[in-house]
Amino acid sequence: MGITKERRSLLVSTAMVLFFFNIHHLQVMSCPEPAASNSTSCTDQDRKLLEFPLNLEYLEAEFFLFGALGFGLDKVAPNLTMGGPSPFGAQKANLDPLTRDVILQFAWQEVGHLRAIKKTVKGFARPQLDLSIKSFAKVMNDAVGKKLIPPFNPYANSFNYLIASYLVPYVGLTGYVGANPKLQCPASRKLVAGLLGVESGQDAVIRTMLYARAKYIVHPYGITVAEFTNKISILRNKLGKKGLKDEGLVVPKLMGAEGQISGNVLAGDEMSLAYDRTPEEILRIVYGSGNESVPGGFYPMGGDGEIAKSYLVKK
């Protein structure tokens, strides 16, 4: 299969435009030709990588729907659950009008993401999720290194809910960054780029809302919002076991963009590129166990799909 005539003339005219526009841009043309795209030959690896994030999208959809409305997929899109069990312990959060409005938008976005993924891969039923106060309280205890009293309740108020939300889209975001280079088919990469764009946006909104109150002390723990985010990020780095891929809202200047600034409203590496994570790293984090073979945390029975299941010890 050679390059088609239209494709060749497109390349030629593109090259000419680039030449006249700015000769340096010609470097772009030296990229190797991508493999011929053929939607029917999209690989099994793509399928596995595309179904994996359903684990996170189910969690996000349920957490945001419940937080804003007090009910979840069982009511708004029962088909999408494919008969999977209802989440444990999710509830309506006590949110101020702005936060509720934003979270409700995120909730519907997550429903869209579930539909988008399922349009491409068959996927799997909603896994058992544990969105109880206890489940979040445990993450926060692990993050701060002591038992918070009373237990951290994500549903108690807008602050707590946003701090709990800090846990959510960012992990998905790093997963999409990690998956993208492993995908073979343009259609898969397009889907992942589309998901990544909106997940990053959600993360940015949550971080900005928290950043505006970075110095606020979360009652009754005597810990500032910024410290909470720092400690959560440190915990995730520890559980992921692949070094620094997570940063709080205020960092040592050296870690900020170009080593110039300690405000860190968005996380990024030394060139301010988003960090990537593999499915294994993500499982270690969302299970809270630091081990992709030891389920727990938000997924008491483990995640679903071939990648997650391949690590679960058969009982």
Which residues are near ligand NAG by CB under 6 A? 38, 40-41, 79, 291, 293-294, 313
- Please state the closest distance from residue 60 (CB atom) to ligand NAG, in A: 19
Q: Of the two residues 24 and 315, which places its CB atom closer to ligand NAG in the complex?
A: 315
Q: Nearest 5°: CA angle at 187, between 62 and 276?
A: 60
- Please state the closest distance from residue 243 (CB atom) to ligand NAG, in A: 16
- Answer whether 169's CB lies under 8 Å from 202's CB: yes
Residue carrying the six token digits 């709080």: 248
- Please state the closest distance from residue 203 (CB atom) to ligand NAG, in A: 28
* Distance between first and last Cα of the chain: 49
Q: Is 249 exposed, middle or buried (0-12, 13-18, 19+ CB in 10 A)?
A: buried
Q: Which helix (H) or strand (E) holds 230?
A: helix 225-240
Q: Of the two residues 41 and 262, which places its CB atom closer to ligand NAG in the complex?
A: 41
- Please state the closest distance from residue 290 (CB atom) to ligand NAG, in A: 7
- What is the chain's length? 315
- Please state the closest distance from residue 67 (CB atom) to ligand NAG, in A: 24
Query: What sign results for the dihedral spanned by CA atoms 68, 71, 72, 78?
Result: negative
Q: Of the two residues 30 and 38, which places its CB atom closer to ligand NAG in the complex?
A: 38
Q: Of the two residues 41 and 272, which places its CB atom closer to ligand NAG in the complex?
A: 41
Q: Of the two residues 256 and 295, which places its CB atom closer to ligand NAG in the complex?
A: 295
Q: Is 108 exposed, middle or buried (0-12, 13-18, 19+ CB in 10 A)?
A: middle
Distance of CA 228 to the CA centre of its chain: 19
